[in-house]
Amino acid sequence: MSQASTIRGQEILNNPARNKETAFTMTERQSLGLEGLLPPTVENIDRQLERVQTQLAAKPNDLERYIYLMSLAARNETLFYHTLMSDPARFVPIVYDPTVADACLAYGHIYRGSAGMYLTRDMKGRFKKILRNWPVKDVRFICVSTGGRILGLGDIGANGMGIPIGKLQLYTACAGVPPEALLPVLLDIGTTNAALRADPLYLGLRELPPDEAEVDLISEAFIEAATDVFPGVCIHFEDWKGTDAMRLLARYRDKVLCYNDDIQGTAAIAVAGLTTALQIKNETFADQRVLFLGAGSAGIGIASMIVSAMVEAGLGEAEARERIVLIDVNGLIETSRTDLNEWQKPFAHEAKPTKDLLEVVRTFKPTILIGVSTIGGAFTEEVVREMAKLNERPVIFPLSNPTNKAECTAEQAYTWTKGKALYAAGVQFPDFEYQGKSYHPGQANNFYIFPAIGLAVYATRPARITDDMFITAAAATADQVGPSAREHGMLFPLQANILETEVTTATRVAEHIFDSGQATVERPENIRAWIEGLLYKPVYKEL
């Protein structure tokens, strides 16, 4: 008999995977030693959901709702996911972006209890032993962050643990990946954030991060330990400092099952939105000229995937790179600069040095403007109006988040372009009406992509994750935006149907994995039905 089947009484109520709270039947209460530990009324999960919704409605803001939902997850996992999956358009922005940004900033102050694992640099020689403390042995995904570059917040160290927790919750809430297969990890290497190091309630190491060579040694030790303790596990790198993110993905992508959502997931969702926008314009990627404000890991990742899309549309790789220009904090990425990293150099062109975005728009004449700068308001009225002067339907993607980091709002983009912009942001802006027409701005959020990739990988168990899988996911996402939605400016599927969307995307990715010979399981006759049979369902099981 397993240990899970022998626990009784208060132990069950303290086990979030088994706890049903007031939904335990009278028979279960008698047999499991729960009599007297619960109120006498027996409720079903929908009645419990009603109580959750009532309590959430009484909270003064979304941060308080986040705190409540995390507490719910810690005591009743099934009810937590039943809540999220009952209305994802409402609850995903609470448990993830944009509310998770506020939660991370205050993480040490709102901490209620542990979720996931915290590994510190001084544990480097003992990672294997410590990972074996995790009670689940068949972990299929680890989302690991150093907290070095969280959203648009910068280095917040151990406060960044809210991101791995939230990302993995979306694997389940958006794509039905079973939660027991998921492990959030904060790899604490210290933080450059002096204010946090001085905060008495900060929970992480109060040390500066080590140099790059030591970061690499710590990362190598972690990956070796994780893949040994959990054979076949997929490592999801999340919100590492940009140079670390690019370097480690390049080092490990062909050695272990891994990916970086900030690089590959962000690129895929951007390409998905651009694909829809270009279909609306009846153009191809080969027709485009793309200007980026921001040239970190996200910008380079998106630019690289756009190069692949342009090559697929008929351009040579060098010609494709010529059609992409990037600006970072030090100005235009051009050949006279001596501070470029190895990933920026392929995008450096011979041009006059400048930091003036408007000047670059006027000289380069982009058809697409993408913001990954975390500089709120950087797409000024002059810049956006210039884009509208150059293009009948300018494509404007201010992708920085949280909300106050967006390069321009939906209202600004639609107003300044007289309703002509094809717009998507990294956060969800409200619907906007301009001259009697209603617009539903898109949210280029990675949750359309990475949970579906996770579900496909969970099902097919490939040895590696390739960019082709992300490109397939991007195309599948774009294909699910219907004509009526496009008429209202929508570039992504409705969030209300996110599980259906993700299963459709995961099916396409799984088909690609089987077709390319990368799967390590036998191909089923009906891939979609097979995947649907693997989905987690937030319903109580009989104990």
Residues catalogued as catalytic: 96, 167
Residues 6 or more apart whose CB falls under 8 angstroms from that of 157 comprise 146, 147, 148, 188, 190, 191, 193, 196, 202, 204, 205
- CA distances to 130, 183, 235, 417, 480 from 137, rounded to whole Å, are 13, 10, 15, 54, 37
- The count of residues in the chain is 543
Rounded Cα–Cα distance for residues 139 and 149 (Å): 25
CA dihedral 283, 286, 292, 294 (to 10 degrees): 120
> CB under 8 Å to 58, separation ≥6 — which residues?
none
Spatial strand order in the sheet of 182-188: 117-120, 182-188, 141-145, 234-237, 258-260
Q: Kindly list the distances between the CA atom of residue 481 and the CA atoms of 72, 272, 487, in Å, as whole numbers in the listed order.
A: 34, 10, 10
Burial of 100: CB neighbours in 10 Å, binned 0-12, 13-18, 19+: buried
Which tokens is 327 given? 């600006």
Cβ partners under 8 Å of residue 339, min gap 6: 330
Q: Nearest 5°: phi and psi at 443?
A: -115, 110
Positive or negative, the CA dihedral 533, 142, 79, 31 is positive
Distance between CA 33 and CA 451 in Å, rounded?
38
CA distances from 53 to 24, 73, 78, 499 (A): 20, 15, 15, 21
Strand partners of residue 184:
143
Cβ–Cβ under 8 Å, residues 274 and 395: yes
CA distance 62 to 406: 19
The 3-class secondary structure across 248-282, one letter per residue, is HHHHHCCCCCEEEHHHHHHHHHHHHHHHHHHHHHC
Give CA–CA dist 475/325, Å, rounded: 24
